[in-house]
Structure formats: structure tokens, C-alpha cells
Amino acid sequence: TRLSTTASVMWASFLSRWGLQPPALSALIASASGSLVASASTSSYLRPFLAASLLYHGFEQYIRWRRRARLAVKGVPEAVAAAMPEVDPAEYARAQEYSAAKNNFGFVADLYGLATGLVHLWLQAAVWNGPALSLVLRCGGTASHELARAGASMLLCAPWDLLSGVPVDLYRTFVLEERFGFNKHTWLSWLGDSLKHFVVEELLMGSLMMAPLVLLVRSLGAAPPLAARACPRPVTALPSPPAGPSSWMYGFGFTSLFVLLLNVVYPVWIAPLFNTFAPLPEGDVRDGVEALVKSSGINCSRIFQVDGSRQSAHSNAYVAGFFGSKRIVIYDTLITHLDGDVEDICAVVAHEIGHAQLHHNYALLGVSTAQLFVMFRLFGVCTDPRLVTDFGFDAPCAYLSLLTFFTLWSVAMPLVSFGLNAFTRQLEYQADAYSVRLGFDIRKALAKISKTNLSDLNPDPLDSLFHHSHPTTVQRVLAVKQLLDTCERKAL
């Protein structure tokens, strides 16, 4: 407690140089820090949240120890050699070395993420109670100007949110990925992409979603104002009322529409901010893909090649968008890794077309909507004002009700991801089967892609179960082989 209080006072002193500190601000920030730490021992919400977070990170470290032991085994396993006899032992060892390097880095990155997450948890309350309120008051506002205070809080926390992730990203990009030949970033391009990602995805997208969401929850679903005793100190006006019993319906409806709109807009307007999308160049590859599009019947005439090689040597392809924004995107690295082989490239594109033709995008949107429904329904149940004050904030309001609930919900996300990964793995099998039905054998392409991406062909089962959205390459190869054998028997 003494350490966090001292840090908060030093930070308040720094802010005062910029005119953001009224006479008692340092005491307010110090008390916010102290109340957050103290509430960890008595809180109805903060203590379970911290316990669940530590449990999750402990489980992640356990999986990494299992993965480390598995990666230490030398030689190509019999199961891999039987399914993919073309695997070269030297190349397999290189892939294992890459996986081991990522895994070892993960030990440190996970602990660093836990530490920075706890700092962010404290910082949100300290900034909201002190500098954000001070800034709003200096600009002529009052404590009841909730969105202004939220915007000030986001801006004041932005430097930490941006800089706290830099050490991990720098090491991953310029040490780990560079060592294995995957990094294609220059320092300037990395800096530009990092700033664009932060501004567009963190600040802009966050503001576009949170501001209307707060207004809806506050205006249409708000409960009666809290009594003055909800505020631990006098302010120029009471905070706006917190979320009410019906607020979850408006939040769910708006967020669902926002997610749908984002799926339509992202491939057209946002993705081009980070990469160059050009029509697939004329030649055999384009002719083959266009013929595939025509034979599959997919309603999509936009076929793009993206300059993924500007950032990384990893390869990919996908079909994105809904309605009129649908497009097929092929990474230039994929064409290179598959040696320009039209048959292999079309096999991969057929897999991606399968996702669209089998309506997997709508299935995933449905799952996402169901998740949002559960999340906001629980939000409607959590009306206890202590959900806000237990996290160190001065008094409840609609914005803080949403913010603290989303923080609490984050501990459930690993379980949500576990279920979603199990679902998407089945979709991958279906897309592979679709590629086979169109007359392609995707096994050779899968082997090439795993080779160039240095994929782990023999991952730990528990790791794969919890973290992988795709089946392993060996599992996919065996499934395709079984399907082809079945087709041959039926033909006979």
C-alpha cells in the first residue's frame, strides 16, 4: 500500500506541472490507490477477480511447462512420420526450436502481462478519481459530465496503454521473429503500424462503441440516482445514475449491431490502413482462382493480393466481409510459399471459400451474438454499486458500471475461448471437406504451409485443446486422407 501510495503522489506531482492538480488531488489519488489495495482483502468482487486472474495465469504457466517438456523430445514422432512422411528431420527440429523459443518467451511475457494488467487496474481508478475529474473541472465541466470524464480518463491512460505493450512487442518482432527469419518490419514501419493499431483499434473503435453504449444504458435503462452517501467525498454534482435493470437489453442490441457493422466495414475501410490490397495480378494463379470462384458459385468478384510480406514472412488467406463487402484475400507470402503452384493455391482458396459457402461467418456471428447476450444479461443482474466502488472508483455511474463489469467478465473469457476454439476446429474440418468436394487435395498445401511457417506438428494435447482455433496439421491431413479414401471406395 505504501509503495502504490508513494507512486500515485509522485505521479500527481508530475501532473500538477501541467495544471491538472487542484489543491487536494494528490490526496485523492493516494486514497484511490489505498482503497483499491485495501478492498482486495474485503471486496465482494475485487478479491475473486484477482484470485481468478492468478488462477488463469498459473494454469497458463502449467501448460507452458508441459509444452516445454514435449518440445525437448528429439526426432520426428512416429505419428507425425506416418501421417506426413515428407517431413524432413532437420526442418522438424527447426520448427521445434522456433516453438520452444516462443514458449520460453511466453513464460516472461505472461508474467509481464499480469503485472501491467494490475497496474492498469489501479491506474483506471486513480486517473478517474483525480486527474480526469480535475481536467473536466478546469474545462468548465462538472463531475456529472460522465462522457467528458471518461474521455479524459482514456486520454490520460493512453500513454500507459500504448507504452506498456512495447517491450513485449519489440522483443517478439525484432528478436524472436527476426531470429527465425519471419520479421520484415523496419523500425519505422513497426512504429507506424503500432501507432495506427492503437489509435484505430484502441482509441477510435473503443470510443465509437463505448460512447453510444453509455448513452443508451444511462438514458434508456437507468435506475434512479444513488443517494448522496454513494459518493465518499463532495463533488460539484452527483455522478449520473448507474445502469438500471433494463439497460442490458439496450446494451446487447447496440453492441450486436456494432459488431455486425464492424464486420461489414473492417475489410473495406480499416484493413487497408495497415496493408496494401491490390487486385490479384494477371497470370495462371488469377485464372485458376477466378475459375474456382465461378465453379463454387460464391457471390464474390473481389479477389485481392495483400502485401503481408511487408510485415512478416508468415502466410495466410481468407474470405472476409458480409453482404456487398465480401472479398477473397490472398497473402503474397502464401503464393511464394506454395511456389506459385496453382493447384495448391486453389486448394487453400477453396478451403476459404468453403467457410463462406457453408455460412461459417454467420455461424460465428451467431455465436458472438449469443456470447454478448449472456454477457449483457449478467450485466443486467449485477446492479450492486459495490461492483464499481470495490475497484477503487469514487461512485457508480453508467460508464463505470460497464467498465468494471467488462473487467470482471474478462476472467470468464478463457472459458469462452475454450468453447469457441472447439467450435471453430469443427468448422476447419468442414472447410477442408469442402475443398475436397471441389476436387482438390489440400494435404500438400498444408504440408508446405506448416513447413514455411515452422508450425509445431506435435503440440501438447492440452495446449491444443485450450488454445488452438485450428486442428493440428497432422489431424487435418489424416481427416482429408480418410475423406479421400471414402470417396475412392464410393467411386468403386
In a domain, 32, yes or no: yes
The tens digit of pLDDT for each residue in 434-479 reads 999 999 999 999 999 999 999 999 999 999 999 999 999 999 999 9
How many domains in the chain?
A: 1
Predicted pLDDT at 217: 83
In a domain, 415, yes or no: no
In angstroms, the CA 378 to CA 361 distance is 26
Range(s) of the domain holding residue 208: 2-229
Query: To 10 degrees, the CA torsion angle through 127, 130, 132, 138?
Result: -160
In a domain, 110, yes or no: yes
* Residue with the three cell numbers 490502413: 273
In a domain, 124, yes or no: yes
Quote the cell numbers at residue 103.
514458449
The closest alpha carbon to 337, from 371, 308, 301, 372, belongs to: 308
177 labelled as ligand-binding?
Answer: no
Predicted pLDDT at 222: 52
Predicted pLDDT at 38: 53
Burial class (CB in 10 A: 0-12, 13-18, 19+), 136: buried
Predicted pLDDT at 409: 94
In a domain, 100, yes or no: yes
What residues have CB less than 8 Å from 83, skipping those under 6 apart?
474, 477, 478, 481
SS (H, E, C) 52-119: HHHHHHHHHHHHHHHHHHHHCCCCCCHHHHHHCCCCCHHHHHHHHHHHHHHHHHHHHHHHHHHHHHHH
Quote the cell numbers at residue 353.
471459400
In a domain, 486, yes or no: no
**Beta bridge partner(s), residue 160:** none
Active site residues: 352, 432
Predicted pLDDT at 82: 95
Enter the DSSP assignment of 323.
G
Confidence (pTM): 0.87
Residue type, 419: G
In angstroms, the CA 143 to CA 28 distance is 14
Quote the cell numbers at residue 160.
500507459
337 labelled as ligand-binding?
Answer: no
Quote the cell numbers at residue 257.
449491431
Predicted pLDDT at 385: 84
| CA 251 remoteness from chain centre | 21
In a domain, 400, yes or no: no
Predicted pLDDT at 357: 95
* Residue with the three cell numbers 474521455: 151
In a domain, 282, yes or no: no
The closest alpha carbon to 83, from 472, 430, 488, 426, belongs to: 472
355 labelled as ligand-binding?
Answer: yes
- To which H or E segment does residue 306 belong? strand 303-306
pLDDT < 70 regions, the chain: 1-43, 221-245, 324, 491-492
